[in-house]
């Protein structure tokens, strides 16, 4: 292990967890990742291995059968997993966000019902805000839950569900129009139970087939169609309607730390591949690493990986301390995703023509890195969040 992405001040437990995860990545993920990715095959055996390691319950409290670890530990684990194959970290991320929403916003009954089974991976989570015509404007959602005599009835179409097929519990943001003047107080998060798979997975719930993507393969990304899905009011996250937007934004905030960590993992792997290839490939009678142009490129790549890692660690530690980290999470996500793409492209250039071949791992990373620019909000959205917060803090 090189000197990059090391983290000071970790506990013995954190160090041991990261050691085990890194060993798992080296042995079980990296050797098969590119083949599975090219086949767009779900990593069933890898997921089962992560269950055995307790990763699905990493942040779930011990009282519910989890490991009770911090957001920092989770972010560092995600870096390691994404270094092996980013899609696997996606399998974990949406599950983690649903567990986080339950831990911080769920009723006692909801926590008791779902968290123990989520800790073991028996219940698998996904969450859904986006819709086909929505983009980044969450306030414009049109999927609606209408009150009935015995609960609610949901109708509408959701988009871009990671784990849409493999999940059995989906946190879904919908409009409820409870009469408040603010559009943000007329949204509610429902906990929708369904069967794993595709087609009609619950009464009034259809999961069409997987969306074919440029990268981020293996993991199932889907739509979710509601046609009069009947659901009890007990399935409202927290038991009270109108809180959904604020709950989801809290989840997305920690999700941005996750995406930042994923980007660091990809960038770190791209750096490793680039610096190794630069020492093996020779031109003009010497390894290309000895040419100044390549040496400068490697220096810039390493610096960007280290910078992104430090920002992700800071954002995670702030959240763990109970402080607001919207600005820091936005900065970490923006910098990590942009640097990830720059580091991957630099490594791709170092590989030359071989980087364009599917036999080389950098080809996969090149396609995967693009998704980091979009997940949990684009860089432009992060800039809006960061800029507005800074204006408020530095208001004259």
Q: What value does the mean pLDDT take over residues 310-337?
A: 94
pLDDT band (50, 70, 90) for residue 180: confident
In the residue annotation, 376 being an active-site residue is answered as yes
Burial class (CB in 10 A: 0-12, 13-18, 19+), 98: buried
Question: CA geometry: angle at 287 spanning 285 and 291, to 5°?
Answer: 95
* 143-154 pLDDT per residue, tens: 999 999 999 999
pLDDT recorded at residue 253: 85
Reported as a pLDDT band with limits 50, 70 and 90, residue 181 is confident
What is the DSSP code string of 8-71? Answer: TT--HHHHHHHHHHHHHIIIIIHHHHHHHHHHT---HHHHHHHHHHTGGGSSS-GGGTS----H
Q: What mean pLDDT do residues 101-115 have?
A: 98
Query: Measured at the alpha carbon of residue 37, what is the angle toward residues 41 and 374, in degrees to the nearest 5?
Result: 110
Which helix (H) or strand (E) element contains residue 172? strand 169-175
Q: What is the mean pLDDT of the chain?
A: 94
Instruction: State mean pLDDT over 54-70.
Output: 96
Q: What tokens were used for 54?
A: 């307790």
Task: With 0.85 as the threshold, say if the pTM is over it.
Answer: yes
Asked if residue 1 has pLDDT above 70, the reply is no
pLDDT the model gives residue 183 = 86
Considering 253, 306, 361, 376, which one is annotated as catalytic?
376
CA–CA dist 290, 298 (Å, integer): 11
- Residue 134 is predicted with a pLDDT of 78
Q: Calculate mean pLDDT across residues 327-338.
A: 95
Residue 122 pLDDT > 90, yes or no?
Answer: yes
Please determine, for residue 223, whether its predicted confidence score (pLDDT) is greater than 90.
Answer: yes
């Amino acid at each position: 292990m090189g000197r990059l992405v090391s983290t000071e001040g970790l506990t013995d437990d954190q160090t041991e967890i990261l050691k085990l995860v890194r060993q798992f990545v080296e042995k079980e993920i990296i050797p098969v990742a590119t083949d599975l990715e090219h086949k767009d095959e779900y990593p069933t055996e890898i997921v089962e291995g992560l269950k055995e390691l307790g990763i699905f319950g990493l942040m779930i409290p011990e009282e519910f059968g989890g490991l009770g670890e911090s957001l920092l530990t989770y972010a560092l684990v995600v870096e390691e997993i994404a270094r092996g194959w980013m899609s696997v970290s996606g399998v974990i991320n949406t599950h983690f966000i649903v567990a986080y929403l339950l831990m911080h916003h769920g009723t006692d009954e909801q926590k008791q019902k779902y968290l123990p089974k989520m800790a073991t991976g028996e219940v698998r989570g996904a969450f859904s805000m986006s819709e086909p015509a929505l983009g980044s404007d969450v306030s414009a959602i049109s999927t609606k839950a209408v009150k009935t005599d015995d609960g609610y009835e949901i109708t509408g179409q959701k988009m871009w569900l990671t784990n849409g097929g493999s999940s059995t519990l989906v946190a879904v943001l919908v409009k409820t129009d409870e009469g408040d003047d603010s559009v943000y107080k007329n949204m509610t998060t429902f906990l929708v139970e369904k069967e794993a798979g595709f087609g009609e997975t619950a009464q009034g719930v259809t999961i069409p087939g997987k969306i074919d993507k440029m990268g981020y393969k293996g993991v199932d990304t889907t739509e979710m169609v509601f046609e009069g899905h009947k659901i009890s009011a007990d399935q409202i996250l927290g038991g009270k309607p109108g809180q959904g937007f604020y709950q989801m934004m809290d989840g997305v905030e920690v999700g941005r730390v996750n995406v930042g960590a994923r980007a660091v993992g990809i960038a770190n792997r791209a750096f490793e591949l680039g610096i190794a290839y630069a020492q093996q490939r020779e031109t003009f009678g010497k390894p290309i690493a000895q040419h100044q142009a390549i040496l400068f490129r490697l220096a810039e790549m390493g610096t960007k990986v280290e910078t992104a890692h430090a920002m992700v660690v800071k954002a995670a530690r702030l959240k763990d301390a109970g402080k607001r980290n919207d600005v820091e999470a936005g900065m970490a996500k923006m910098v990590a995703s942009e640097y990830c793409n720059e580091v991957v492209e630099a490594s791709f250039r170092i590989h030359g023509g071989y980087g364009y071949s599917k036999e080389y791992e950098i080809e996969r990373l090149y396609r995967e890195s693009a998704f980091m620019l979009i997940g949990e909000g684009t860089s432009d959205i992060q800039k809006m969040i960061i800029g507005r917060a800074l204006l408020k803090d530095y208001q004259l």
